Amino acid sequence: MTDTIFALSSGAPPAAIAVVRVSGPQAHALLERMAGPLPEERTLSLRSLHVWHSGELLDRALVAWFAAERSVTGEPLVELHLHGGRATVDAVEAVLASVPGVRRARAGEFTWRAFENGRLDLVQVESLSDLLRAETEAQRRAALAEGGLSGKVEQWRQQLLQLSALAEAALDQSDEDDVPADRARIDAVAADLIAGIGQLLARPGAERLFDGARVVFAGPPNAGKSTLINALAGREVAITSAIAGTTRDVIEAPVRIGGVAFVLTDTAGLRQGSGDEIERIGIDRAQRRIDEADLVVWMDERAEPDVADEKLIRIFPRADEPGRSDAAPGMRVSAVTGEGLADLADMLVERARTLLPREGEVALTRRQREHLAHCHAALVAFAAEPDELIAAEQLRLARQAIDELTGRAGAEEMLDALFGTFCIGK
Ligand SMILES: Nc1nc2c(ncn2[C@@H]2O[C@H](COP(=O)(O)OP(=O)(O)OP(=O)(O)O)[C@@H](O)[C@H]2O)c(=O)[nH]1
């Protein structure tokens, strides 16, 4: 029999209220034993909780229970809203744990059960995972929007099933010359699917939102890269010194600016013809970072950047220093006086937003994109395939890709990785 699991789901002690959730076949019986006859379903009711064998009072708490058909886990579920002191929570948990077949939940186990019981599909689990780890406003909104993806995918799956049925019927009829295959309808459904999925694939992905837009600061030794990163980050993240070549490797600082996540990367100064082997390796790495960056803050007024326009931000650093030319290209910035810092921050946010999913729009994670891209490719191959048997195989591949996307066809490793991101009690 399935274990009944419990966990503190919110309000780590000491807190005003600590919610312990209990899910599994014994959940309702446990509540009855502690609190007496079950109150109305899905309604918080005040009850005294007792240790049933000794009669000892555990807490006066708000309790609620949910039938399996209406619970988030798809199992009998109970919530105990306890007074959030350590001793109260410990005492209740100890009583629960003393019952055979009842144990503490592992990380993500409530969500896992919801998935197993068909309450959530994998796309919904991912958006929940994103919501729980959202740290910026943009991430929170995107995770909520992601919730809408599941419905869209289900609609595509239905269309694919319809397409498969049509193609199957056409295959059966192909020997009978007098019955025209419903080719026009097949083409229309396929074209619709290809367009819809293609549109979503063309949008910026969700990973930048969570991983942060990658900004590389590039320029000669002593340009003030590390000092500028520290000023933007509002803390010491990079080593600064007056000795040219201080930053020998790459230092990354995850920061939030204007509600957007960034990773600011300090690179070794791009000095040509450096004699020092270690410094040269640092410079190679810097070049690679520039190639991979979303945005490059170029801090060298004497050299022309070898960086695509759409990711280039040119600044004129250390602008406060006497004798610095007024005619140099780029936005004047001083990490010391603060001149131009707010403008630079605004520009970073503005440029980063063009790389990020638009607010409220569904954005795909890497995993989702991969499966949808497979589905899309199979559909395109299907539409172009004259041989009906090969075309049917392409449709099967498209269906498989969708099923992998929603978790109907399981890839165990991926499930482990995903559920590993949840905390205990979720
Ligand atoms: N006056 C003034 N000095 C600055 C400014 N930014 C940096 N400096 C000074 O310039 C020197 C070099 O700064 P860093 O931030 O270490 O320069 P870097 O580009 O990271 O140097 P490398 O690590 O060698 O590539 C330090 O002495 C800083 O204090 C600025 O805006 N104004």
Tokens of 311: 């990711």
What residue owns the CA closest to ligand 1's atom 14?
224
CATH number of the 123-205+364-419 domain: 1.20.120.430
For residues 197 and 156, is the Cβ–Cβ distance under 8 A?
Answer: yes
CA–CA distance, 416 with 418 (Å, rounded to integer)? 6
pLDDT tier, 289 (very low <50, low <70, confident <90, very high otherwise): confident
End-to-end, the C-alpha distance of the chain in Å comes to 22
Contacts of 239 (CB under 8 A, 6+ apart): 226, 246, 247, 251
d(CA 189, CA 379): 10
Pocket test for ligand 1, best of 217, 225, 240 (most atoms within 8 A of CB): 240
Q: Does domain 209-355 have CATH number 3.40.50.300?
A: yes
Whose alpha carbon is nearest atom 21 of ligand 1? 222
Confidence tier at 179 by pLDDT (50, 70, 90): very low
Query: Is 223 labeled as ligand-binding?
Result: yes
Ligand 1: residue whose CA is nearest its atom 26: 242
Question: Over 60: is that where the pLDDT of 245 sits?
Answer: no
Residue 177, pLDDT above cutoff 60: no
- Residue 174: per-residue pLDDT: 62
Identify the pLDDT of residue 416.
65
88 has binding-site annotation: no
Do residues 218 and 300 touch, judged by C-beta distance below 8 A? yes
What's the confidence (pLDDT) of residue 397? 93
Instruction: Check the annotation: does 227 bind a ligand.
Output: yes
Ranges 117-131, 273-287, 354-368: which has the least confidence? 273-287
**Can you tell me the distance from the alpha carbon of 352 to that of 320, in angstroms, rounded to the nearest whole number?**
27
The single-letter DSSP state of residue 105 is P
What spacing in Å lies between the alpha carbon of 277 and ligand 1's midpoint? 23
Q: Ligand 1 mean position to 218 CA, how many Å?
A: 13
How many Å apart are CA 395 and CA 391, to the nearest integer?
6
Mean pLDDT of 148-159: 87
Residue nearest to atom 30 of ligand 1 (CA): 318
For residue 150, name the pLDDT band (cuts at 50, 70, 90). Answer: confident
* Atom 8 of ligand 1: nearest residue by CA position: 224
Task: Inform me whether the pLDDT recorded for 38 exceeds 90.
Answer: yes
**Which class is domain 4-105?**
alpha beta
- Choose from 152-161, 228-237, 296-305, 322-331 the range with maximum mean pLDDT: 152-161
Residue range(s) of every CATH 3.40.50.300 domain in the chain: 209-355
Return the sign of the alpha-carbon dihedral for residues 357, 363, 366, 372: negative
What's the complex ipTM? 0.95
Mean pLDDT within 236-254: 64
244 annotated as belonging to a binding site for a ligand: yes
The closest residue, in CA terms, to atom 9 on ligand 1 is: 224
Taking the CA of residue 242 as reference, the ligand 1 atom at the shortest distance is 27
Pocket of ligand 1 (CB under 6 A): 221-227, 240-242, 244-247, 268-269, 317-318, 320-321, 334-336
Measure the CA dihedral 284/291/266/356, to 10°.
-160
Determine which residue's CA is closest to atom 6 belonging to ligand 1: 224
Which residue is associated with the tokens 């009850």? 47
Enumerate the β-bridge partners of residue 20: 8, 80
- Between 58 and 256, name the one with better pLDDT: 58
Ligand 1 centroid to residue 330 C-alpha, Å:
17
Known binding residue 245? Answer is: yes
How many Å separate Cα 385 from the centre of its chain?
A: 36
Mutation pick for ligand 1 pocket among 216, 217, 225, 227 (CB with most ligand atoms within 8 Å): 227
The secondary structure element, H or E, covering residue 8 is strand 4-10
Q: Is 57 exposed, middle or buried (0-12, 13-18, 19+ CB in 10 A)?
A: exposed
- What is the 224 CA–ligand 1 centroid distance (Å)? 3
- The helix (H) or strand (E) run that includes residue 19 is strand 17-23
Exposure pattern of 345-363 as b/e (b: 16+ CB <10 Å)?
A: bebbbebbbebbbeeeebb
Where in the chain do CATH 3.30.1360.120 domains reside?
4-105
The pLDDT mean for the chain works out to: 84
The segment(s) of the chain belonging to CATH 1.20.120.430 are: 123-205+364-419
